[in-house]
Amino acid sequence: MKIKNVVMTLAAAGLVFSAQTSIAGTTLDAVKKKGVLSCGVSTGLAGFSQKDEKGQWSGLDVDVCRGVAAAVLGDASKVQYKPLTAKERFTALQSGEIDILSRNTTWTHTRDTSLGLNFAGVIYYDGAGFMVSKKLGVKSATELNGANACIQAGTSTELAISDYFRENNMKYKAITFDTSDQTRAGFESGRCDFLVSDQSQLYALRIGLKDPDGAIVLPEVISKEPLGPVVRQNDDEWFNVVKWVVNASIEGEYQGVTSSNAEEMKTKGNPGQKRLLGTEGDLGEKLGLPADWAFQVIKQVGNYAESFERNVGQGSPLKIARGLNAQWNKGGILYSPAMR
Amino acid sequence: MFSKKTAEQIQLETRPSGNGATAFYNNPKYRGWIYQSILFVFIIGFFYSIISNTLDNMSAQGIKSGFSFLKTSAGFDVLMSLIPFETTDSYLRIFMIGILNTILVSIIGIIFSTILGFIFGIAYFSRNWLIKQIAIVYVEIFRNIPVILQVIFWYTVFNALPIARESLNLGDAIFLNVTGLYFPLLVGESGSGVVYGAIIAAIIAVFIVKRWAKKRQELTGEQFPVLWSSLGILVGLPLLALLVTGIPFHFDYPALRGFNFQGGVSVIPEFLSLAIALSVYTGAFIAEAVRAGIQSVPKGQTEAARSIGLKESKIMSLIIVPQSMRVITPMLNSEYQSLVKNTTIATAIGYPELFTIFAGSALNQVGQAIEIMFMTLAIYFAINMVISLVMNHFNKRTELSTR
Amino acid sequence: MSVREFKPLPAQPAPDATTGPIAWVRDNLFSSPFNIAATVIILASLAAVVPGMVDWLFISANWSGTSQDACVKDGACWVFISAWSQQIFYGSYPTEEIWRVNLSLCLLAGVIALSFLLPDRLRNKVAVPAFLLLPFICILLLDGTMLGLTPVTTDLWGGFSLNVLLAAASIIVAFPFGFLWALGRRSEMPFARSVSVTCIEFFRGTPILALFFMGSVMLPLFFPADVTVDKLLRVWIILILFMSAYMAEVFRSGFQAIPSGQYEAADSIGLGYWQKTLLIIFPQVIKVSMPNILATFVMVFKNTVFLLVIAVPEMLQVIMSALSNSNWLGGHAIEGYLFVGFIFWACCFSMSLLATTIEKKLDTGHKN
């Protein structure tokens, strides 16, 4: 009888883990069935995916997860966040542990073609740049010959800086760190003369310094780093959902639909706004989503501008300017395909 | 008349089954074979399913396989390498650099952890109360804190050093700053070969003297001052060669040029922090082993040594420590092996050893987890195998011959 | 002539120079020139370092507040720790459900206490099944689905409680495995022996970081394509295998400490292999191995920190991700590391004290 109890307990414990094992069928169906979206995010990247003291996740990458959850499940909070290191992010997606990878991942040709993955758009146009101490008196990256560089390990920046220095016939020494906080500490202590990172991170790292005004960001941007969410290949339905959720939030800004006026626009807006919000047309149906999918995204998460300002822009400690990430008609290159 | 019964008869009578044979499944020999066959089938099935699943998954996910990636260019820089490296070099070279850096930090770690371990292990028996307390505090603090935290701590300490232009300076020759430790490099000119030859000759001479002295002691009982005469040979012979050849050496001093110090020998803080963390952490365990070893030597040995009038310092070095080595050596073996395994924590501070640059950076760029992990693990096994062989050889020499 | 009676003189007090604090100081601190020098150097360096440290750690430290702005003084910013304390200890586990984590920890403590307090004849009958069931009961409790509680998925588990529970659950499950491997290593069946030796040597020879890494990057490839296995479960499997190898070696030395007379006596009263092993040998092996088992537990407990390299939200990983939160970018790394270091030190040190106590208590004089 005791043995029977043991076996029962073991079996029950096994079920706990196996409950979420099956990913048969399309991801969209699986997510609807589970009632929750599992989303791979970074372990902690200021402004993109970070956890607060209460365990709540926020950030630009996190907003993609929340947007997809809002569109598919009608509730932006139904997300299971799986923090991943750079090394395990693709494996986690390939093996089906996560439904979508939104972890400041650069869209490169190799990754898109050889990993069995698809990039579903760009949510932030980034590029690697340099931060140096003001005391050094350096005005341009070309004066950095022979200097030590602080780099975060496992990023595409590692390759970009090597290319840049080779191209300009300069030498450097790479000091790599595991986390961005260590990179900042290394720069602050003088272990390296300059810090190379995605521009978005440079600003975050700079305000973390004891004396933020003592460091300057050099004008050079040495690489293209378009960051976006990633899904598995051969699942076009899910690929479309993620792609158009990203586009809906960009289009929301373009059309002037915000989380506060979305309700009103639903009935009073122009045809374009109504089509986006689902009161006209059948955009949702074609994606296999409810008609008000984009409405839910904008209502619960906000349009791109709101999300940007809240997480990395003026409403955040990072205060990053829109720059390239402004709408195409406002000096940036954000452009959503037509919503019709 | 039971005294007439043979042993065979008794055995026959006590057997339970009627026909004198047990069922084959009760025979331990056959049963063993049955167990082993079940285990065999299970293991074959286990590996079959793992391998077939892996192959399926890899083809489904379009993951490449094979070792051709080793020839492709890495494209990223490595902080420290013992062999020349350019960012255009191949992953195979990255692999070699990783191995060499792992071996380097392991050797340094093993040497210094042994020194620390013996100092603090013996200090435990010091007559000075403060020294004994320090030995206890050292062991209890450093072995009870995860080593990864310790390496981060030491790295933080190095990060607090002054920047390159404000280096701590010792006689314009040795510099210490946040980018590392710099000291002059001895460069040989023509004629330096004679001096190198003299050093080698001196070492050989020392060995000969040692053997001769041992033989003489065995024959006549007279001791010969081996230590002093060896030192004399080791210092005198090269010195003589130096004077004869007119000192064919000069120092290459490190100097601040551009952003950093150039010339001389430089040791990066990543290496220093890792080596210190590993030495201090493993040293605490070795100190514990040394203490246990010394305590295992019976008290009578100390008393006997005192009774024949040996000095206290000689008792430790001639009587106690050699006997305690019997207990200490096997423990040293496992501590050295765990030190080598612990070099992987370098990944927290970015010292480019095997795990960090090959199973880390290279894997991240290439994505062929199976091949890379296989190669990495093989190296750790090989290094530990060598340590095991050396220590077992050493163990044989210290074992009691009566065993 | 009378013989003078022997009258001992009254005992004199010991000379002043051999008792009392001054003598103690002289004997223990200044007994030789070398000791004098050592004492002076040690005291001087303590005097140089300690006051500054105490000042930074306690006196000018910032203790109260909820955000980074509260850290105005020069000393340590303990506000960072207190603001993140729930994350540090419980991870993202929902606040209203934290009692389940606490209950699990209490159950663990209870079972450990039980196994020490029970009388000998009950101990094996009650404590062994209680130990073996404990990890699974804890999992059911923490997950909650089967017990009708609010389900809490494994991605929300974390913090220091995860370090403790993961280490405990691993070593408990590793017990039977380790015992089997140790038996296999002693077995006369060549194939079983070589399998055991291979397992033990593989998991002992591999750096734990590499094993964790395999658990996160390679294990998913080993399972069929339509099955995903929870990350925490994969980590648990890895830890169990790793621990089993170490436990097997602990048991092996335990076996070697059992006098061969015990085996022969068991054989002579006609016990079968398993009866002999489980009834006669096992209890004795457990007894002599207890200090080593505790040492192994301390090791795995410290090793759970390595999980940060694969982003399992254990204590140090929580600190690391807190450091990258945009509201806490001031760099409180030192405070975080010190805190984690102190917690681990306190736990491991008390366990090593416990091990020493048990060693003394168990030393019933069987050695030689």
Distance CA B281, CA C341 (A): 13
**Amino acid in position C238:** I
What tokens appear for C67 in the block?
């955000």
Q: Tens digit of pLDDT for each residue in A283-332? A: 999 999 999 999 999 999 999 999 999 999 999 888 888 989 999 999 99
Cβ distance C222 to B53 less than 8 Å, yes or no, reads: yes
A window 165-224, beta carbon within 8 A of C: 178-182, 184-185, 188, 204, 207-208, 210
At residue B2, does pLDDT exceed 50? no
Q: Which residue in this structure is represented by tokens 């999980």?
A: C307
DSSP-H helix ranges across chain A: 2-18, 27-34, 60-73, 89-94, 109-114, 157-167, 180-189, 199-208, 236-255, 262-268, 271-277, 283-287, 293-300, 304-311
Whole-structure pTM value: 0.86
Cβ distance A191 to B159 less than 8 Å, yes or no, reads: yes
| CB-based contact B310:B319 (threshold 8 Å) | yes
Cβ distance B360 to A154 less than 8 Å, yes or no, reads: yes
Q: What is the pLDDT of residue C352?
A: 87
Q: Tens digit of pLDDT for each residue in B234-275? A: 888 888 888 888 777 788 888 887 777 877 788 899 999 999
At residue B277, does pLDDT exceed 90? yes
> Which residues are C227's β-sheet partners?
A22
With H, G, I as helix, E, B as strand and everything else as coil, classify residue C70. Answer: helix
Q: Tens digit of pLDDT for each residue in A246-284? A: 999 999 999 999 999 999 998 888 999 999 998 888 899
Tell me the average pLDDT of chain B. Answer: 85
With H, G, I as helix, E, B as strand and everything else as coil, classify residue C339. Answer: helix
What tokens appear for C296 in the block?
């192994």
Cβ-count burial A285-294 (b if 16+ within 10 Å, e if not) = eebbbeebbb
Q: Which residue in this structure is represented by tokens 């009834």?
A: C279
Q: Tens digit of pLDDT for each residue in A160-217? A: 888 899 889 988 888 888 777 778 888 888 888 899 988 888 887 888 788 888 888 8
Q: Tens digit of pLDDT for each residue in B163-183? A: 877 888 887 788 888 888 888
With H, G, I as helix, E, B as strand and everything else as coil, classify residue A261. Answer: coil
> Which residues are C77's β-sheet partners?
C62
Task: Name the more confident of B50 and B32.
Answer: B50
Q: What is the pLDDT of residue B6?
A: 52
Distance CA C273, CA C184 (A): 13
pLDDT band at B360; cut points 50, 70, 90:
confident
pLDDT band at B103; cut points 50, 70, 90:
very high
Distance CA C156, CA A55 (A): 9
| CB-based contact B119:B286 (threshold 8 Å) | no
At residue A16, does pLDDT exceed 70? no
Region B186-195 average pLDDT: 79
Closest Cα in chain C, distance from residue A205 (Å): 8
**Amino acid in position A239:** F
Distance CA A62, CA A336 (A): 20
Residue B343 CB neighbours (<10 A): 28
Q: What is the pLDDT of residue C123?
A: 74
| CB-based contact C190:C285 (threshold 8 Å) | no
- Mutation to test the B interface, candidates C196, C238, C306, most B Cβ within 10 Å: C306
Q: What is the pLDDT of residue A14?
A: 52
Cβ-count burial C239-278 (b if 16+ within 10 Å, e if not) = bbbbbbbbbbbbbbebbeebeeeebeebeeeebeeeebbe
Q: What is the pLDDT of residue C308?
A: 87
Closest Cα in chain A, distance from residue B270 (Å): 9
Q: Tens digit of pLDDT for each residue in A142-174? A: 888 888 898 887 677 888 888 899 889 988 888
Residue B236 CB neighbours (<10 A): 12
Secondary structure in 3-state letters for chain B: CHHHCCHHHHHHHHCCCCCCCCCHHHCHHHHHHHHHHHHHHHHHHHHHHHHHHHHHHHHHHCCCCCCHHHHCECCCCCCCCCCCCCCCCEHHHHHHHHHHHHHHHHHHHHHHHHHHHHHHHHHCCCCCHHHHHHHHHHHHHHCCCCHHHHHHHHHHHHHCCCCHHHCEEECCCEEEECCEEEECEEEECCCHHHHHHHHHHHHHHHHHHHHHHHHHHHHHCCCCCHHHHHHHHHHHHHHHHHHHHCCCEEEECCEEECCEEECCEEECHHHHHHHHHHHHHHHHHHHHHHHHHHHHCCHHHHHHHHHCCCCHHHHHHHHHHHHHHHHHHHHHHHHHHHHHHHHHHHHHCCCCCHHHHHHHHHHHHHCCHHHHHHHHHHHHHHHHHHHHHHHHHHHHHHCCCCC
**Cβ–Cβ contact B348 with A under 8 A:** yes
Q: What is the pLDDT of residue C2?
A: 64
Neighbour-count burial of C90, counting CB atoms closer than 10 A to its CB (0-12 exposed, 13-18 middle, 19+ buried): buried
Q: Which parts of chain C sit beneath pLDDT 70?
A: 1-2, 16-17, 330, 362-368
What tokens appear for A75 in the block?
């509730």
At residue B22, does pLDDT exceed 70? no
Distance CA B218, CA A69 (A): 86
Q: Which residues of A touch B363 (CB under 8 A)?
A: 87
Which chain A residue has the Cα nearest residue B270?
A: A175
With H, G, I as helix, E, B as strand and everything else as coil, classify residue C228. Answer: coil
> Which residues are A57's β-sheet partners?
A51
| CB-based contact C164:C102 (threshold 8 Å) | no
**Cβ–Cβ contact A83 with C under 8 A:** yes
**Amino acid in position A112:** D
**Cβ–Cβ contact B56 with A under 8 A:** no
Q: Tens digit of pLDDT for each residue in B135-154? A: 999 999 999 999 999 998 89
* Beta-strand pair A128-133/A194-198: antiparallel
Q: Which residues of A touch B61 (CB under 8 A)?
A: 94, 115-116
At residue A1, does pLDDT exceed 50? no
Q: Which residues of A touch B149 (CB under 8 A)?
A: none
C window 135-164, beta carbon within 8 A of A: 135-137, 139-140, 143, 145-146, 153-156
The helix-helix angle for C120-143 and A2-18 (nearest 10°) equals 30
- Mutation to test the B interface, candidates A132, A138, A175, most B Cβ within 10 Å: A175
* Beta-strand pair A117-119/A230-232: antiparallel
Q: Which residues of C touch A318 (CB under 8 A)?
A: 326
Q: What is the pLDDT of residue B184?
A: 85
Cβ distance B53 to C27 less than 8 Å, yes or no, reads: no
Residues contacting A265, CB < 8 A, separation 6+: A257, A273, A274, A277
